[in-house]
Structure 1
Amino acid sequence: MENNFVALTGTKGGPAIRPGSSMPTSNLLCLDGQQIVVDCGLGVTRGLVDQGMQLRDLDTIFITHLHSDHYLELGGLLHTAWTAGLKTPVQIWGPAGLEQYWQNFVASMQFDIDTRIDDEGRPDLGDLVTFHVLGTDRIVLKGGISVSTLRNAHPPLLDSFALAFRSTQKTVVFSGDTAPIAEMVDFAKGADILIHEAMLKAALPALMARVGNGSEKLMAHLLRSHTCAHDAAKIAESAGVKQLALSHLVPSDDPDYTKKDWENAVKDHWDGPLHIGFDGIRIFF
């Protein structure tokens, strides 16, 4: 793999999938040759393989928050990587409570895991995985890559984070799921690429009709906890980032709204390189 790119392997906002839709949130960041998985929504395993990643090489994962479209397939990814030859440690950073999910996943798969250890001679999957609770401390990964966190605004969740990955020459920022916040400007200042969640406000009523089992509370959540595309563009412009990628798109699967609608939503606020996320897009920086 080439050294510096981010692959948006899942670009849909929200956990539901429908015929023809994209998959929920997951990303593969390759920075100075290191492979880092950011979020593990449904479909992450297939998405990583489609990028050419050998699952046995999995070693670093970040989960931005505990909404299912960001960690539902974490257990499945780890188990599948194990069956694909994983035998080295995996370090996982995420909010408090993520390790409990993993323990419950392992318990649900205990018969299969024990059988494969006894019958196939595999190492104990539980011994390979270490969890770290995300907070405000700077994280240093192998190769000197540093990771900074910003607690963003995604109510009702309190432990929800933006992430900034920095090597000696490059900076990549993921907004996570968040309402627009002024702090994101300084957090993303001068980044080589900002991957920011985005929503088309005009398309929300049609989305509500498609969901079918949500009340007015769902609309209220979207409006208070997510960022409209034009606000993401304003943040990117103020931060002076070199590229802007929109992902976690709400909606991502309405045929009445196309790439042109997203471009129109940001054009008055951002005139730099723009990427409207779709599953599998690889962006070099």
Structure 2
Amino acid sequence: MQITFLGTSSGVPTRSRNVSSVALRLPQRGKFWLFDCGEGTQHQLLRSDLKMGQLDRIFITHMHGDHIFGLMGLLASCGLAGNTQRMDIYGPAGLNEYLRASRQYSSTHFSYPVQVHAVQPGIVYEDEEYIVSCLPLKHRVTAFGYRVTEKDRPGRFNVEKAAQMGIPPGRVYGQLKRGETVTLLDGRQISGTDLCGETEIGRKIVYCTDTVYCDEAVELSRDADVLIHEATFAHQDAQLAFDRLHSTSTMAAQVAYAAGVNQLIMTHFSPRYAPGNAIVLDDLLTEARAIFPNTKLAYDFMTYEVQRNRN
């Protein structure tokens, strides 16, 4: 699993930072998922090594323009490219109406099925490998944070040991690899867990924006391998953060600390902290690391490989 930041500015783009969008690559599937889709996201995708034809799910946190204005253009381009089979989009109530009106007034027709799912707190998507859940955050409009949980997998299957035990190869190997207990033709019962290495613990990634510090962000982020959290303002601008229901660098760090995450990556920075100003982004990093040392600043096209842990 690899995270690619496509937009790390808040509100408006800058010369070096586009507005919000994060891609989560799932290499074993040859797919990636998108979290938020600010204006210009499709241009950012073209500048990355991600391929639009591999996108099949989009998760929207809330309906502010810097998180959704790129969505309609991206969906239209996917249709014109002709290699998108289906798109599932998850987000707050109102997202479907927004897309329907955009299609109507722009006379846009999608050549592939688009399914919009209005999310509620809890599980919003699950398959054999992943669970995506959400909780409400504290912002000026309805907003959700998302958690992607990779399901645990049995460890490496010991083929040599299985052969020594006289277990014939074939379908039974697949069952044992999944940790199942099987009965052989000679009556022996074999547990797959005895033939597999340590369980591969699933990775956990959390995406929280836009929000001021809230308990729901801590709950959603509990024990995450990576927490991507907005840090729109510096600590000295905390009153602005409270007024606009955004986070400071120290709020992001407090969420990471309280939730016991492994890595905090801050994003969604106000353009006011551009180089040459009294406060710059390195100051926000220093503030956050004073509370949670394992903190990074995101930048456009930054990639982060999420490592798999073991018991």
TM-score w.r.t. structure 2 length?
Answer: 0.75
**Where does residue 241 of structure 1 map in the other structure?**
261
Contact persistence 2:131–2:148 (CA under 8 A): yes
Q: What is aligned with 1:52?
A: 49
Q: Aligned runs of 1:106-121 on 2, under 5 Å?
A: 106-110=103-107, 113=108
Pairing partner for 1:229 from 224, 245, 249: 249
1:65 and 1:52 map into 2 onto residues whose CA distance is: 27
Q: Quote how far apart the aligned CAs of 1:240 are.
A: 1.2
Structure 1 equivalent of residue 130 of structure 2: 145
- Equivalence for 2:21: 26
Q: CA deviation at 1:150?
A: 0.7
1:11-39 Cα deviation digits (max 9, x unpaired): 0111x235x24111011012454411000
User: 2:230 & 2:272 partners in 1: Cα distance?
Assistant: 11
- Cα distance between partner residues in 2 of 1:22 and 1:222: 24
Match of 1:191 among 224, 228, 246: 224
Give the direction of change, closer, same or farther, for the CA distance of 1:184–1:73 in structure 2 (3 Å limit). Answer: same
C-alpha deviation, 1:260, in angstroms? 2.0
Counterpart selection for 1:163 from 146, 149, 155? 146
Measure how far apart 1:140 and its partner are. 2.8
SS in 1 for 2:229: strand
Measure the CA separation in 2 of the matches of 1:97 and 1:138: 19
Q: Which amino acid aligns with 2:284?
A: W
Matched ranges for 1:7-156 at <5 A: 7-14=4-11, 16-18=12-14, 20-31=15-26, 33=29, 34-110=31-107, 113=108, 125=110, 127-155=112-140
Distance 1:143 1:9, change over 3 A: farther
Query: For each residue in 1:165-199, what CA deviation from the matched residue of structure 2 results, as whole angstroms up to 9, or x when unmatched?
Result: 01121100001200101232222111010000003
Does structure 2 conserve the Cα–Cα contact (< 8 Å) formed by 1:196 and 1:245?
A: yes
Aligned residue identity for 1:163:
Y
**Matched residues in 2 for 1:47 and 1:65: separation?**
20
Greater relative contact order (Cα < 8 A, sep 6+): 1
Stretches of structure 1 lacking an aligned partner (at least 5 in a row) = 114-123, 206-218
Of stretches 88-97 and 142-151 in structure 1, the one that deviates more from structure 2 is 142-151
Judged with a 3 Å threshold, the aligned counterparts in structure 2 of structure 1 residues 221 and 227 are, in CA distance, closer, same or farther, namely closer
Equivalent AA in structure 2 for residue 267 of structure 1: R
The whole-number CA distance in structure 1 between the counterparts of 2:235 and 2:127 is 44
Question: Does the aligned pair in 2 maintain the 1:22–1:253 contact within 8 Å?
Answer: no
Deviation at 1:258, TM superposition (A): 3.2
Higher Cα Rg, which structure: 2
Equivalenced residues, count: 252
Partner of 2:282: 260
Aligned-residue sequence identity (percent) comes to 27
Runs (5+) with no aligned partner, structure 2? 152-201, 307-311
**TM-score normalised over the length of structure 1:** 0.81
Paired with 2:301 and 2:256, the residues of 1 have a C-alpha distance of 23
- TM-aligned CA deviation for residue 46 of structure 1: 1.7
